[in-house]
């Protein structure tokens, strides 16, 4: 068989892709008809496709390439580790240096007494670990009836059976009989879409208090934990009102439940601190980590748990683990990635330099006629597209129709922004420079202009009744 290379014509590669490769979260037939975009190389914040286009990656891959593409140090560490010890497991009373070093470094970086790491291969797996760990925790403490995990509608916690059940994505729950029992979803703190006549502050409190109400209704003796992203990512970069997290923390303190912060996106500098929990000022018992942990260079994830949780779990055999838990190559790459984030002052820059620069420019997009709110924390941002800013109206067309048009304009203008319904979102590599931020905003604005023209031409600039 002929070797498949970057130098084959795009159409041939697309045909082979369509014939054999099944894509995540994709309608296969639609993609086969259209042809997938083929990314061949990347450096810094720029991708190159098989047609030679240079595309600014406003999404950092999938929210993960925090240190940017093309870092030789990471390639070298991986090669060195592969030669020395490409694999060994951490079951059966064995360990290895990369797992030791990475867990020690994570304990140092994580706030409070989050000092113990259980490794996984992906964020979904780590949340499956959490789901089981909190139930085992309460069983060990003589309260086996504390089983229910409270989560939120429109949360994203991954795609396995457990993680998708924890998540609050309706289209995911509609397939395959989800959610599994024992998961309860409360409403999200999305003021723009759901706040009606309340001020953001009133709304933030009201949504937080749904947690207290749920605990009371389900019974405190039945609830194990509450899980949430400090800032919802895949749900559309929903920045909660300032009143939300302090009230959630109060409720968690006053009731006997564990708080799980899903830091898969917010962690490793995305919000201008090492962890989103520091940005929103909460004290979780467990943090889920993945994505930026290795800047996406190797698949690795984990759960960082408190001294208390670790000591309770440590008294029994936790019958759980993954072949690739603490994979030495991935762990070595993650450790090197943490060194780069730290020594190059990348997170400081998000907090005090390039971050504020991006935030100012991003917020100015709210002046565009198609844009309602523009939200951003650190380097994760969103804009809500709307036919009427004053009433925060939704479009009359199916949700996502206008967002998709905008996404296609972005693609055509060589900038990657994702759409979630009719929100556009960004999460660029944290190393993006000021000139690159200017280019991102320039291409985003052009795409919004073209989208508006198309929406007007198609008669879509109409509010839902
Ligand atoms: C991406 C994501 C996950 C799932 O991680 P995978 O590595 O895709 O399994 C979980 N939680 C959040 C908040 C995420 O953004």
Beta-carbon contacts of 263 under 8 Å, excluding residues fewer than 6 positions away, are 229, 230, 275, 276, 277, 287, 288, 289
The owner of tokens 């979904």 is 124
pLDDT at 456: 97
Question: Measured from the CB, is residue 234 less than 6 Å from ligand 1?
Answer: yes
Give the architecture (CATH level 2) of 37-67+347-457. Alpha-Beta Complex (3.90)
Q: Distance (Å, rounded) from C-alpha 67 to C-alpha 106? A: 17
Q: What is the pLDDT of residues 313-335, one digit of tens each?
A: 999 999 999 999 999 999 999 99
pLDDT at 2: 65
Neighbours of 383 (CB within 10 A): 28
Atom index in ligand 1 nearest the CA of residue 62 equals: 1
Q: Which two tokens stand for residue 221?
A: 């003796």
The owner of tokens 């990347």 is 42
Between the CA of 303 and the centroid of ligand 1 the distance, in Å, is: 12
Residue 187 near residue 204, CB atoms below 8 Å? no
pLDDT at 53: 96
Neighbours of 34 (CB within 10 A): 11
Topology (CATH level 3) of domain 73-343: 3.40.640
Give the residues across from 48 on adjacent strands: 41, 54
pLDDT at 465: 83
Residue 261 near residue 251, CB atoms below 8 Å? no
Question: Measured from the CB, is residue 303 less than 6 Å from ligand 1?
Answer: no
Predicted model pTM: 0.98
- Ranges in the chain, pLDDT < 50: none
Compute φ and ψ for 310, nearest 5 degrees. Answer: -65, -40
Neighbours of 196 (CB within 10 A): 8
Question: Measured from the CB, is residue 262 less than 6 Å from ligand 1?
Answer: yes
Domain boundaries, the chain: 37-67+347-457, 73-343
Atom index in ligand 1 nearest the CA of residue 155 equals: 13
**Which string of b and e fits 208-227 if b means at least 16 CB within 10 Å?**
bebbbebbeeeeeebbbbbb
What are the percentages of helix, strand and coil residues in the chain, rounded to 5?
A: 45, 15, 40
How far does the chain reach from its first CA to its final CA, in angstroms? 58
Q: Distance (Å, rounded) from C-alpha 222 to C-alpha 148? A: 6
Question: Which of 120, 156, 158, 172 maximizes ligand 1 atoms within 8 Å of its Cβ, making it the mutation to test the pocket?
Answer: 158
Between the CA of 290 and the centroid of ligand 1 the distance, in Å, is: 7
pLDDT at 6: 73
Q: What is the pLDDT of residues 86-111, one digit of tens each?
A: 999 999 999 999 999 999 999 999 99
Q: Residue 375's closest CA among 253, 211, 193?
A: 193
Question: Which of 120, 123, 237, 302 maximizes ligand 1 atoms within 8 Å of its Cβ, making it the mutation to test the pocket?
Answer: 123
Between the CA of 162 and the centroid of ligand 1 the distance, in Å, is: 12
Q: Distance (Å, rounded) from C-alpha 121 to C-alpha 266? A: 18
In order, the DSSP letters of 72-85 are HHHHHHHHHHHHH-
Q: Distance (Å, rounded) from C-alpha 364 to C-alpha 369? A: 12
The owner of tokens 């690159």 is 436
Q: Residue with the nearest Cα to atom 5 of ligand 1?
A: 123
Question: Measured from the CB, is residue 157 less than 6 Å from ligand 1?
Answer: yes
């Amino acid at each position: 068989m002929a070797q498949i290379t970057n130098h084959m014509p795009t159409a041939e590669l697309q045909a082979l892709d369509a014939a054999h490769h099944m894509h995540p979260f994709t309608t296969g037939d639609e993609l086969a008809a259209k042809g997938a975009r083929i990314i061949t190389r990347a450096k810094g914040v720029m991708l190159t496709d098989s047609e030679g286009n240079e595309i600014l990656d406003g999404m950092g891959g999938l929210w993960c390439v925090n240190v940017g593409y093309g870092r030789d140090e990471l390639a070298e560490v991986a090669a060195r580790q592969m030669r020395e010890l490409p694999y060994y497991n951490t079951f059966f009373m064995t360990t290895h240096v990369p797992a030791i070093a990475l867990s020690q470094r994570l304990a140092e970086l994580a706030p409070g007494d989050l000092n113990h790491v259980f490794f996984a291969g992906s964020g979904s797996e780590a949340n499956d670990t959490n789901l089981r760990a909190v139930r085992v925790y309460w069983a060990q403490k003589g309260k086996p009836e504390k089983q229910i995990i409270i989560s939120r509608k429109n949360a994203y916690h991954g795609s396995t059976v457990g993680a998708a059940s924890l998540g609050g994505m309706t289209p995911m729950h509609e397939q395959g009989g989800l959610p599994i029992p024992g998961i309860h979803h409360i409403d999200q703190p999305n003021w723009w879409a759901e706040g009606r006549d309340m001020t953001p502050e009133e709304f933030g409190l009201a949504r937080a208090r749904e947690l207290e109400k749920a605990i009371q209704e389900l019974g405190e003796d039945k609830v194990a934990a509450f899980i949430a992203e400090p800032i919802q990512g895949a749900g559309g970069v929903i920045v909660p009102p300032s009143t939300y997290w302090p009230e959630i923390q109060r409720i968690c303190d006053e009731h006997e439940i564990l708080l799980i912060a899903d830091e898969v996106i917010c962690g490793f500098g995305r919000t201008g601190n090492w962890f989103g929990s520091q940005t929103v000022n909460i004290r979780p018992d467990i943090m889920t980590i993945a994505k930026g942990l290795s800047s996406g260079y190797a698949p690795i994830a984990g759960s960082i748990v408190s001294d208390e949780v670790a000591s309770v779990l440590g008294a029994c055999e936790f019958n759980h683990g993954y072949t690739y838990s603490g994979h030495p190559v991935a762990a070595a790459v993650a450790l090197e990635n943490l060194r780069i984030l730290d020594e190059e002052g990348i997170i400081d820059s998000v907090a005090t330099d390039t971050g504020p620069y991006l935030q100012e420019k991003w917020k100015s997009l709210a002046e565009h006629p198609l844009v309602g709110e523009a939200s951003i924390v650190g380097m994760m941002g969103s804009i809500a597209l709307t036919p009427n800013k004053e009433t925060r109206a939704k479009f009359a067309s199916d949700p996502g129709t206008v967002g998709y048009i905008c996404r296609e304009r972005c693609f055509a203008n060589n900038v990657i922004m994702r759409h979630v319904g009719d929100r556009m979102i960004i999460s660029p590599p944290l190393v993006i420079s000021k000139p690159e931020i200017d280019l991102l905003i320039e291409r985003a604005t052009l795409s919004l202009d073209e989208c508006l023209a198309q929406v007007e031409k198609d008669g879509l600039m109409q509010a839902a009744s």
